[in-house]
Amino acid sequence: MEVSKQKESQFEILSIAEVSASSSDTSFCKSEPVCARFGSGSGFSKLRFGQESETSADIAFDLRISQLFKLGPAESLCISEASEANKEKAYSRGISIQFKNEEESRAFHCAFEQWKTEVVVQGSPLPNGVVSTSKSKFDDKIEASSAKMYFHYYGQLLHQQNMLQDFVRTGTYYAAVIENRADFLGRVVVDVGAGSGILSLFAAQAGAKHVYAIEASEMAEYAKKLIAGNPSLSERITVIKGKVEEVELPVKADILISEPMGTLLVNERMLESYVIARDRFLVPNGKMFPTVGRIHVAPFSDEYLYMEIANKAIFWQQQGYFGVDLTPLQRSAYEGYFSQPVVDAFDPRLLVAPAISHVINFTSIKEEDLYEIDIPLRFTSSASTRIHGLACWFDVLFNGSTVPRWLTTAPGAPTTHWYQLRCVLSQPLYVMPGQEITGRLRLVSHKAQSYTIYLRLSATVGDVLQTSSGKLDLKEPYYRMSQPQAYSLAQDQQPNQLLQAQQDSFCNL
């Protein structure tokens, strides 16, 4: 059952029973079907219970002071808070509600939250959008200050414009949806973290029956405006303001669509929300766009980058800076600069070994598996050089029924707003051709919506074992955008063989 967008929403309840405020006994019980009506009156929203044929209600709740609790798959409890004059009671009235099935229960809860939080203008509620204020799992694992900054950032149009103008990103999403129209036609779609609503509009263009666009930031208000400005599509899109961990939907989705990728795929930890949305909203065997993500890593050699970072700490070598010796902080500054992952576009010819991949299947991975990602490393060097660290990038697959399509951020490919990422080690390693390089890359999530990166690389030259390790914060990268970003290959040069091996593996997924 879909939530009505009219001035009144109506549900048929299997039975209700009034619960006494002083005990668990019920004062009355209606076992015959009862009509529950959501509506507005006197400037605020109300919930009324009564017989469908009756104009008056047996029981009425002021939704401003009411709460709804789920007791079971098809049973809930609605309570009204005590008045100021009756504070000795925990609540003034409680109703136990029995639904026909779990789907009816879910639809009722969605309507309750929507009517409870809608703004009333001239006696009519604004129908498009709902806010949930309850504490959720998101609040438990993410610092409030980080979440505030995160939603503030994505609530600004200039940042949405930056993503929309990434034509590789936006164009790939559009192609993935439109080319796989059969997956969307007549289906219910949930857009997770909808932002401006562009993906919801794509899904509607592809013939979706209805799209629920969930967005927690203030961008939800802009999304409503953008969607309303496209009237041929807007009737099939509902914007819901809230976190996917908190909102309720009236129906299950046939397909999820989202852009949950951050730097190195996992930054911002939105992949976890994407997986939670899958578990909460998606029908069994429903589709996810994107379907699979892969993190690719390879050792690189870049003497210029290494010296650029090391030279930043020279400032702290001064012993007479306005009469002050800065050298006690020189080592800490040096380590601090190497704790920043470098985000830029680099020449793929800097790679010194074929990349290896870590696959994340969004359709099956558990949310908890994203808390810590452990990637064993084993490479074979293709040159005699110094290794300065590990280069990283990602791609995602939209596994459509008609045309599977990849979105890649690989070096040498058209540049996206994600660029690539490099973890630079403070101590380079010397390797020879054919030399084995081993190590481990660990990504450990933290409450600032990002990850701590632990990197270790080892190589044995002769009888000498070299090991270099680093600890980096993905939350605080060094954006090296002032450097040249275009690395076009010479016309007579063959495509990079190291990347070619990776492209050949696409069909093996």
Find out whether the peptide bond into 290 is cis, omega within 30 degrees of 0: yes
pLDDT value for 15: 87
Q: Which residue has the higher pLDDT, 490 or 13?
A: 13
What's the rounded mean pLDDT across residues 424-431?
96
Q: Which domains does the chain have, with CATH numbers?
A: 8-82+92-121 (2.30.29.30), 155-259 (3.40.50.150), 293-479 (2.70.160.11)
Q: What is the mean pLDDT of residues 380-404?
A: 97
Residue 213's pLDDT is 96
- Count the alpha carbons within 13 Å of 72 in the hemisphere toward its beta carbon: 8
Mean pLDDT of 19-34: 58
Q: Using the Cα atoms of residue 274, residue 245, residue 117 and residue 73 in order, give the sign of their dihedral.
A: positive
Q: What is the pLDDT of residue 53?
A: 55
**Among the options 221, 259, 272, 436, which is catalytic?**
259
Q: What is d(CA 136, CA 494) in angstroms, rounded to the nearest whole number?
A: 52
Contact in structure between 352 and 300 (CB atoms under 8 Å): yes
pLDDT in tens, 135-163: 567 777 888 888 788 778 878 888 899 89
Q: Between 488 and 372, where is the model more confident? A: 372
pLDDT digits (tens, 9 = 90+) for 356-375: 999 999 999 999 999 999 99
Rounded-to-integer distance, Cα 86 and Cα 102, Å: 35
Residue 459 confidence (pLDDT): 94
Mean pLDDT for 435-449 is 95
- Using alpha carbons, select from 303, 256, 309, 211 the residue that is nearest to residue 2: 211
Burial pattern 278-300, b for ≥16 Cβ within 10 A else e, equals bebbbeeebbbbbbbbbbbbbbb
Whether the per-residue pLDDT at 29 is higher than 50: the answer is yes
Q: Which residues of 451-484 are buried (b: 16+ CB within 10 A; e: fewer)?
A: bbbbbbbbbeeeeeebebebebbbbebbebeeee
> Token match 């040498």: residue?
412
Question: Which of 133, 150, 155, 140 lies closest to 449 in space, CA to CA?
Answer: 150
Residue 28 has pLDDT above 80, yes or no: no
Q: Which of 198, 208, 169 is nearest to 290 (CA)?
A: 169
Residue 105 has pLDDT above 80, yes or no: yes
- 35/53 Cα distance (integer angstroms): 9
Q: CA-CA distance, 464 to 230, in Å (whole number)? A: 66
> Is residue 486 very low, low, confident or very high in pLDDT (cuts 50, 70, 90)?
very low
What is the SS3 assignment for 60? strand
Kindly name the residue from 118, 215, 248, 268 that is annotated as catalytic. 268
pLDDT digits (tens, 9 = 90+) for 32-59: 788 888 887 655 688 888 876 554 456 8
pLDDT at 72 over 90: no
Reference 403, options 180, 205, 254; nearest CA is: 180
Mean predicted lDDT score pLDDT of the chain: 85
The total of other beta-carbon atoms located within 10 Å of residue 14's CB is 17
Reported confidence tier of residue 20, pLDDT bands at 50, 70, 90: low
The better pLDDT of the pair 118, 11 is held by 11
Mean pLDDT, range 160-173, rounded to an integer: 94
Better-predicted residue by pLDDT, 371 or 11: 371
Continuous segment of H or E residues that includes residue 97:
strand 91-98
Q: Per-residue pLDDT averaged across 485-498, rounded?
A: 43
Active site residue 259: yes
pLDDT of residue 87 exceeding 50: no
> Alpha-carbon distance 297 to 167, whole Å?
25
Q: Which two structure tokens, joined as six digits, stand for 145?
A: 């200050």
Cα Rg for the chain, rounded, in angstroms? 28
Amino acid identity at 18: E
DSSP 8-state class, residue 317: G
In the predicted model, is pLDDT for residue 282 greater than 90? yes
| Mean pLDDT within 46-74 | 76
Residue with tokens 């002021």: 62
Span 233-252, pLDDT tens digits: 999 999 999 999 999 999 99
- Burial of 25 by CB count in 10 Å (0-12 exposed, 13-18 middle, 19+ buried)? exposed
Quick one: pLDDT band at residue 24, thresholds 50, 70, 90? Answer: very low
In this structure, what token pair is assigned to residue 448? 């600032």
Q: CB under 8 Å to 157, separation ≥6 — which residues?
A: 196, 219, 222
What residues does 289 pair with on adjacent strands? 257
pLDDT at 406: 97
Torsion of CA 139, 140, 144, 147, to 10 degrees: -50
Q: Which amino acid is at 462?
A: G
Q: How confident is the model at residue 92 (pLDDT cuts 50, 70, 90)?
A: low
Q: What is the pLDDT of residue 11?
A: 87
In the numeric block, the tokens 């690539």 are attached to 420
Q: Which of 3-17, 309-323, 379-393 has the lowest mean pLDDT?
A: 3-17
So what's the pLDDT on residue 106?
Answer: 82
